[in-house]
């Protein structure tokens, strides 16, 4: 029997009670907790981390992850070939913003997720495929027990608004550490900047989908996912919505299931997934800070 999960609501409550008021680049103040929130630890035997406090669409964040796995940064391709919806990146790939970082029209930029995941620039003038490397190591009997199965979305010299910004948004997530233990696969997903009400529930879906895809192609059992949050925040225009979510009763978590097994992780698409036993509260429109 599953137990009701309260971790997401506990996170919201902690930030509302302990967050410090800060200004943000989006010109909307926020309540921020920096490095002080508890980890969110999900044992998948009790359900997958898809929040029930409001109804989530699971296909869009999975589509985005599939695009990133394939190294995509052109948002029009992400929309047309993968099914990523316009609101995900449309406000960020405007002509003004892409020109500012030297990106092609409607592109996220060379320092973004797709480039980092699939074609990270190496020290020999070539590129390194982090996704392929993770699959290779977890498929190798001599390597799968290593504590070095890690991926980063952060290309240092292209991010952080230093001297050479090459993406419209410096990656907020994508820092992941896989660990195989006795045939089980666990994942720590570290998040640099966390829009707790709007972006983070989608990111949770993205990384549980990644864990399940990696596990299936490497013949391991997905067991646990842990989300570690650095700068976790709630914008001031979201506070009433946060309180509404806190008022809703706790429910058990659903299961995200892969229904079409593929030989290559890069062959997966959003329609290869389905959600089971999902009983969320009604949808809630969450304000954006953009």
State the Cα–Cα distance between residues 199 and 232, nearest whole angstrom: 11
Q: How far apart are the first and last CA of the chain?
A: 41
Cα–Cα nearest to 135, from 264, 260, 222: 264
pLDDT score, position 150: 98
What is the model's pTM?
0.97
Q: Which two tokens stand for residue 128?
A: 């390194």
pLDDT score, position 158: 96
Do 106 and 118 form a contact (C-beta atoms < 8 A)?
no
Domain positions in the chain: 7-276
Helix (H) or strand (E) holding 273: strand 273-276
Q: Is 200 helix (H, G, I), strand (E, B) or coil?
A: helix
> CB 144: neighbour CB atoms within 10 A?
19
pLDDT score, position 290: 81
pLDDT score, position 289: 86
Torsion, CA 54, CA 213, CA 89, CA 37, rounded to 10: 50
State the Cα–Cα distance between residues 89 and 171, nearest whole angstrom: 13
Q: Which two tokens stand for residue 272?
A: 């290869």
Q: Which two tokens stand for residue 230?
A: 């650095």
For domain 7-276, the question of CATH label 3.30.572.10 is answered with: yes
pLDDT score, position 26: 86
- Packing angle between helix 59-69 and helix 200-217, nearest 10 degrees? 60
What's the Rg (C-alpha) of the chain?
19
State the Cα–Cα distance between residues 112 and 153, nearest whole angstrom: 7
State the Cα–Cα distance between residues 228 and 48, nearest whole angstrom: 16
Question: What residues of the chain score a pLDDT lower than 70?
Answer: none
State the Cα–Cα distance between residues 88 and 270, nearest whole angstrom: 15
State the Cα–Cα distance between residues 159 and 76, nearest whole angstrom: 22
State the Cα–Cα distance between residues 188 and 60, nearest whole angstrom: 22
Strand 221-235 with 40-43, pairing:
antiparallel
């Amino acid at each position: 029997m599953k137990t009701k999960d309260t971790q997401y609501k506990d996170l919201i409550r902690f930030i509302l009670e302990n967050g410090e008021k800060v200004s943000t680049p989006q010109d909307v103040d926020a309540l921020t907790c920096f490095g002080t929130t508890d980890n969110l630890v999900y044992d998948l035997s009790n359900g997958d981390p898809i929040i029930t406090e409001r109804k989530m669409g699971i296909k869009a964040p999975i589509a985005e992850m599939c695009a990133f796995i394939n190294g995509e940064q052109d948002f029009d391709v992400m929309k047309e070939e993968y099914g990523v919806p316009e609101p995900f990146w449309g406000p960020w790939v405007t002509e003004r913003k892409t020109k500012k970082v030297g990106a092609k029209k409607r592109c996220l930029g060379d320092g973004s997720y797709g480039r980092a995941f699939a074609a990270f620039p190496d020290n020999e003038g070539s590129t390194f495929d982090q996704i392929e490397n993770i699959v290779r190591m977890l498929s190798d009997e001599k390597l799968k027990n290593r504590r070095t199965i890690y991926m980063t979305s952060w290309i240092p010299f292209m991010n952080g608004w230093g001297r050479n910004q090459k993406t419209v948004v410096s990656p907020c997530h994508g820092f992941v550490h896989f660990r195989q233990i006795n045939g089980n696969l666990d994942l720590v997903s570290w998040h640099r900047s966390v829009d707790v009400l709007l972006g983070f529930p989608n990111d949770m879906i993205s990384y549980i989908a990644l864990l399940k895809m990696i596990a299936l192609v490497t013949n391991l059992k997905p067991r646990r996912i842990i989300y570690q949050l650095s700068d976790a925040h709630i914008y001031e225009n979201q506070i009433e919505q946060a309180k509404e979510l806190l008022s809703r009763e706790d429910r058990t978590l659903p299961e995200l299931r892969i229904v079409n097994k593929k030989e290559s992780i890069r062959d997966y698409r959003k329609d290869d997934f389905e959600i089971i036993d999902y009983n969320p509260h009604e949808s809630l429109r969450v304000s954006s800070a953009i």
